[in-house]
Structure 1
Amino acid sequence: MGLHEDAEIEKGSPRNPIKPSIFRYNSPLAQVGLIGFVCFCCPGMFNALSGMGGGGQVDPTAANNANTALYTAFAIFGILGGGIYNILGPKLTLLCGCSTYILYAGSFLYYNHYHHQAFAIVAGAFLGIGAGLLWAAQGAIMTSYPPHDRKGTYISIFWSIFNMGGVIGGLIPFILNYNRIEAVSVNDGTYIGFMVFMSIGTVLSLSILHPSRVIRDDGSRCTNIKYSSVGVEAGAILKLFLDWRMLLMVPASWASNFFYSYQFNNVNGVLFNLRTRGLNNIFYWGAQMIGSVFIGYIMDFSFKSRRRRGLFGIGVVAVLGTAIWSGGLVKQLDYKRSDLVHDLPKKLDFKNGGDFAGPFVLYFSYGLLDAMYQSMVYWIIGALADDSEILSRYTGFYKGVQSAGAAVAWQIDTHKVPFLNELITNWALMTVSYPLLALLIMKAVKDDDDQVEGKSKAAEMISGIYS
């Protein structure tokens, strides 16, 4: 196929019509749905495990150290993941990535009996490598496969399926530990349940097609590159550190997982008893489904102008985020880390009525904000390009910086930093990112009409060369 023909396909030539169908296996919708179910089973269950606080253990030290190892490795392989994905393709990349989730859940099953941290920490490091591969592949698929004017919708579809894993994963500890009101750590069945789902996700990852085989309804392919090379990817990844667009995203990337250690350990883990933490997880990840759909609609349909939709979306998230963190500050002033020495605050149960309601709504709101914030960032990344090869590197860079921030956050919690300091840091990081993301949209995101015009001019130039 010649360069001229590639240009015709990319702009959706009438010679290459594709009959729209949600059941077409090589359609973007089918493939985004499949990667959603892979993430439902693997990182979705991991989220449910982490969301219980301390990995379901009374002492969060082992989980904190395991997560530090995880996110340190993730920071490296998140950045490298885009290049590895372009070389290996999605099946092998995802298969390697998903298998490490099973090992991680198994390490806590081991810890339940022997209380040795070493296995959990090593498993966390392996998971960091695997998660870097999985999320680079996921990011490339989610941001590059959809048509450019429906990326928010596809992101919300993925996010809803993925976070249903957290909902189901929250049910596992809630049901299996329902009658263990005074229990301090979850039972073996909880970890085994997670491992079963993660195994299913690993097998399901083999169903994902290479982006060169995925065809949009307008006839365009998600990439015309079938294979890359180590040299090409190494050079492209190094250039990301000098790309002003990526540099503007660094604060948002750093902030986007930084708050998990605070929310999981110091809100859910401190305020609620074991079975209620599982129940809270159901609603935390359920809130993520609501938040992703809401922000996805705003980013795709609120205004005709693509830039205006992006700026409006940032404004909505900024206002909501300020309100939620303000509510968190009010609650945080009620307790501090030193209270834990005296077994305070008293652990809340979901049957406590009014005492339970306020903290529960706050934790639910944290989940809502997380999905809206991350979906917004993914939409911005997707608006920078349409090609899978390019976007795999962009999303890999995003996940790498995100994971570096998370590694620091888990160690901050391990070193017993005051709860209030953690909250203020999280709030400040998110607040700083909003104007930088707005600047990125104004400078780098083209409106739909501009993009079509740009593609037409490129096609005309190529046509002139070959005529």
Structure 2
Amino acid sequence: MSDAISNLGGGGLSTPFLANLATSLNCAAGFVVVGGFFDGFLYVAETTAMLSYPNQNDRGLFLGIWSAMRNTGSIVGGSINFYTNYKTSSAGGIAWSTYLIFVGFECTGVIWAFMLSPTSKVRHRDGSKAATSTDITWAAEFQALWMHLQNKKTWLMFFPAFYSFFYGGTLGTYLALHFSVRTRALSSLITPTVTIPMVVAYGRLMDQQRWSQRHRAWIGILIWLVPQVGCFIWIGIEYSKFGTEKTTLDYLL
């Protein structure tokens, strides 16, 4: 649900600068101290499950479902954002009650974690068990990880991964500086709502057997890259129009 706050632009504050600074400090400190280490375990566990649970020809779909599940929380959060702020047509920050509701929801996360099924109980459509690794020591795991890091193709994922964590600063600043509170709240609802069917369709496209794996990889990269580049060019053009002027764009009911 934290993405719903990010989608507000500037963390929902009246100006984005404090939120951007806090995000930068959090990422820098977290990477060195705690966040980067434990977030790594989280993402590895999630993606491992989504890649090992399904059959090989369904992995794209399951990755899409995983992304859709993550965005479901953003829909709930976006709904809260819009409900608590839809009357504010001026610039500024969101209602503080919005943050309190989010804190309450996120405190329940540990409860949902204990409701997950263990891997040993996961079954495919045909009734077969999900693939699991054999018993392996931590030393062997880190050795395998080191070998994986030496693969040049592994580092190709660094660029989209890095981008996925930091592009929000540009988009969030754009929203916070030039849109009303309720427009930003509506944006936080629309974004995940549109994302869910798109990621599922994207995943299913990656499972198509009519193309080779190499062709599917290039198709996937282009489908992701071209719209991203187009959006940043468009935002740059819009920034040039606004200049340093404080603009509050709003929608009409």
* Deviation digits for residues 121-170 of structure 1 (CA, Å, limit 9, x no counterpart): xxxx7665554433222122122211111111111222222212212211
1:197 pairs with 2:153 = no
Note the 1:128-147 alignment, pairs <5 A.
Answer: 131-147=39-55
Structure 2 match to 1:330 = 237
Structure 2 match to 1:69 = 25
TM-score (normalised: structure 2): 0.85
Change (3 A) 1:256 1:308: same
Larger radius of gyration: 1
Change (3 A) 1:312 1:210: same
Deviation, 1:281, is 0.9
Deviation, 1:201, is 2.6
| Distance in 1 separating the partners of 2:141 and 2:29 | 19
Structure 2 match to 1:254 = 162
Q: Bigger CA drift: 313-322 or 186-195?
A: 313-322
Equivalent residue in structure 1 for 2:70, among 135, 158, 162: 162
1:273 pairs with 2:148 = no
Amino acid of the structure 2 residue aligned with 1:221: A
Change (3 A) 1:67 1:179: same
1:300 pairs with 2:201 = no
Deviation, 1:61, is 3.7
In structure 2, runs of 5+ residues without a counterpart are: none
| Distance in 2 separating the partners of 1:260 and 1:301 | 31
Change (3 A) 1:64 1:318: closer
1:348 pairs with 2:219 = no
Q: CA RMSD in A?
A: 2.7
Is this contact kept in 2: 1:143–1:155, CA < 8 A?
A: yes
Number of residues of Structure 1 aligned to a counterpart in Structure 2: 252
Equivalent residue in structure 2 for 1:287, among 194, 207, 225: 194
Structure with bigger helix share is 1
* Deviation digits for residues 48-96 of structure 1 (CA, Å, limit 9, x no counterpart): 11221222222434322332233235545xxxxxxxxxxxxxxxxxxxx
Is this contact kept in 2: 1:212–1:224, CA < 8 A?
A: no
| Distance in 1 separating the partners of 2:38 and 2:22 | 14
Aligned with 2:252: secondary structure? helix
Equivalent residue in structure 1 for 2:133, among 204, 224, 244: 224
Note the 1:421-440 alignment, pairs <5 A.
Answer: none
* Deviation digits for residues 209-247 of structure 1 (CA, Å, limit 9, x no counterpart): 443543434525321335x44323333333343222212
| Percent identical | 25
1:174 pairs with 2:82 = yes
* Structure with higher RCO (Cα < 8 A, 6+ apart): 2
Change (3 A) 1:269 1:155: same
| Distance in 1 separating the partners of 2:241 and 2:80 | 31
| Distance in 1 separating the partners of 2:182 and 2:36 | 28
| Distance in 2 separating the partners of 1:225 and 1:74 | 32
Is this contact kept in 1: 2:15–2:177, CA < 8 A?
A: no
Is this contact kept in 2: 1:73–1:129, CA < 8 A?
A: no
| Distance in 2 separating the partners of 1:303 and 1:74 | 43
1:49 pairs with 2:15 = no
Change (3 A) 1:285 1:200: same
Is this contact kept in 2: 1:272–1:348, CA < 8 A?
A: yes
| Distance in 2 separating the partners of 1:302 and 1:312 | 13
Structure 2 match to 1:448 = none
In structure 1, runs of 5+ residues without a counterpart are: 1-44, 77-124, 353-467
Q: Bigger CA drift: 170-179 or 54-63?
A: 54-63
Is this contact kept in 2: 1:180–1:275, CA < 8 A?
A: yes
Is this contact kept in 1: 2:9–2:176, CA < 8 A?
A: yes
* Deviation digits for residues 88-129 of structure 1 (CA, Å, limit 9, x no counterpart): xxxxxxxxxxxxxxxxxxxxxxxxxxxxxxxxxxxxx76655
Amino acid of the structure 2 residue aligned with 1:289: I
Is this contact kept in 1: 2:10–2:17, CA < 8 A?
A: yes
Change (3 A) 1:70 1:230: farther
Deviation, 1:202, is 2.2
Is this contact kept in 2: 1:177–1:275, CA < 8 A?
A: yes
Structure 2 match to 1:187 = 95
Is this contact kept in 1: 2:14–2:94, CA < 8 A?
A: no
Is this contact kept in 1: 2:15–2:176, CA < 8 A?
A: no
Change (3 A) 1:59 1:320: closer
TM-score (normalised: structure 1): 0.49
